[in-house]
């Protein structure tokens, strides 16, 4: 059985000077799925997403997007091809309104009617944003800023949505809301690569997971199985 892959990473190595941050990882992201990369602080999660996004250079290995080799292409081209990144720490534009922030996500698009439709879709996903369209991004709560950052990425109508620790620093009730909305975005057709330290939340909503430790994948499998795995339970789920 062959499944259509949106993204394939093969034997990827990334260095920061002498620091070997990614040590030959292989990752597959099939179309229509949520794939998660879990790991502790410093494991190499952000580096992996940054390399896919063209923000950090691969030393060797390949990044294949929809069958095309995009290794080390510049970030704006990668984005234009259909890969959107919601960076760690929800970097929205604080001095722009919610509406302007959303439109920044659509700046590459010329299909105005479709953009309007996507706005309506986003208002359904995040009714709170619709009520705050004229409010400055910087005045939103942390949770609302995360919703805005995700929405802005969706406004580019990505073929692959990458999210870097979307639950980080949010109150527990909002953490649940963010995971729920990620699941919903996926159910409505978007392929997602989700990076998280919150292993429980990420494994609960994803189809397949990879465990990253100091730049190497030490374990992978269907998320349901990882949730039952002893090593994962001890090291990442805090279960004795
Ligand atoms: N800009 C950088 N310069 C040098 N080392 C870095 C840089 N960014 C990350 N690193 C190092 O690379 C490793 C992986 O970091 P990172 O990808 O940020 O991990 P994670 O996102 O899993 O916390 C760490 O050892 C980190 O210190
Ligand atoms: Mg990180």
**Distance (Å, whole) CA 85 – CA 33:** 16
How many domains does one find in the chain? 1
- Alpha helix (H) residue ranges in the chain: 45-52, 75-81, 98-105, 112-125, 127-130, 142-154, 172-187, 199-205, 223-228, 230-235
- Tens digits of residue pLDDT in 103-114: 999 988 888 899
pLDDT at 239: 78
Q: What is the DSSP string of 78-140?
A: HHHHTEEEE-TT----TTSBHHHHHHHHTTT---HHHHHHHHHHHHHH-HHHHTTTTSBGGGS
pLDDT at 240: 64
Nearest CA to ligand 1 atom 11: 21
240 lies in some domain: no
| Residues, beta carbon < 5 Å, ion ligand 2 | 45-46
Closest CA to 209 of 42, 45, 23, 15: 45
Assign residue 188 the CATH number of its domain.
3.40.50.300
Q: Give helix 142-154 / helix 172-187 axis angle, nearest 10°.
A: 10
Atom of ligand 1 nearest to the CA of 212: 22
**Distance (Å, whole) CA 219 – CA 231:** 9
Q: Which ligand is nearest to the CA of 47?
A: 1
CA–CA distance from 56 to each of 53, 108, 115, 233 (Å)?
8, 22, 30, 32
Give 54's DSSP letter: T
Domain housing 181: 5-235
Calculate how far, in angstroms, residue 120's C-alpha sits from the geometric centre of ligand 2. 31
154 lies in some domain: yes
102 lies in some domain: yes
- Tens digits of residue pLDDT in 154-173: 999 999 999 999 999 898 88
Q: Which of 39, 40, 47, 169 to mutate to test the pocket of ligand 1 (most atoms within 8 A of CB)?
A: 47
Residues enclosing ligand 1, CB less than 6 A?
16, 19, 21, 39, 41-47
Calculate how far, in angstroms, residue 209's C-alpha sits from the geometric centre of ligand 1. 21
Q: Which of 14, 44, 50, 215 to mutate to test the pocket of ligand 1 (most atoms within 8 A of CB)?
A: 44
Residue 14 pLDDT level (bands cut at 50, 70, 90): very high
- Tens digits of residue pLDDT in 111-161: 889 999 999 999 999 999 999 999 999 999 988 999 999 999 999 999 999
166 lies in some domain: yes
């Amino acid at each position: 059985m062959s499944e259509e892959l949106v993204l394939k990473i093969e034997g990827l190595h990334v260095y920061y000077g002498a620091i070997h941050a990614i040590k030959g990882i292989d990752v597959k992201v099939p179309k229509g799925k949520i794939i998660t990369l879990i790991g502790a602080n410093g494991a190499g999660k952000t580096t992996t997403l940054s390399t896919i996004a063209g923000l950090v250079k691969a030393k060797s290995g390949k990044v294949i997007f929809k069958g095309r080799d995009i290794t080390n292409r510049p970030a704006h081209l990668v984005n234009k091809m259909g890969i959107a990144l919601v960076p760690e720490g929800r970097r929205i534009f604080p001095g722009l309104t919610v509406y302007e922030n959303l439109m920044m996500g659509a700046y590459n698009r010329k299909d105005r009617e479709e953009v309007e439709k996507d706005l309506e879709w986003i208002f359904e996903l995040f009714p709170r944003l619709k009520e705050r369209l004229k409010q400055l991004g910087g005045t939103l709560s942390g949770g609302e800023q995360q919703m805005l950052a995700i929405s802005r990425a969706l406004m580019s109508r990505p073929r692959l949505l990458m999210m870097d620790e979307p639950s980080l620093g949010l109150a527990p009730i909002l953490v649940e809301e963010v995971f729920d909305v990620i699941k919903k975005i996926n159910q409505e057709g978007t392929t997602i690569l989700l990076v998280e330290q919150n292993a429980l939340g990420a494994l609960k909503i994803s189809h397949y997971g990879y465990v990253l430790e100091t730049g190497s994948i030490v374990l992978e499998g269907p998320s349901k199985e990882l949730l039952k795995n002893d090593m994962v339970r001890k090291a990442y789920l805090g279960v004795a």
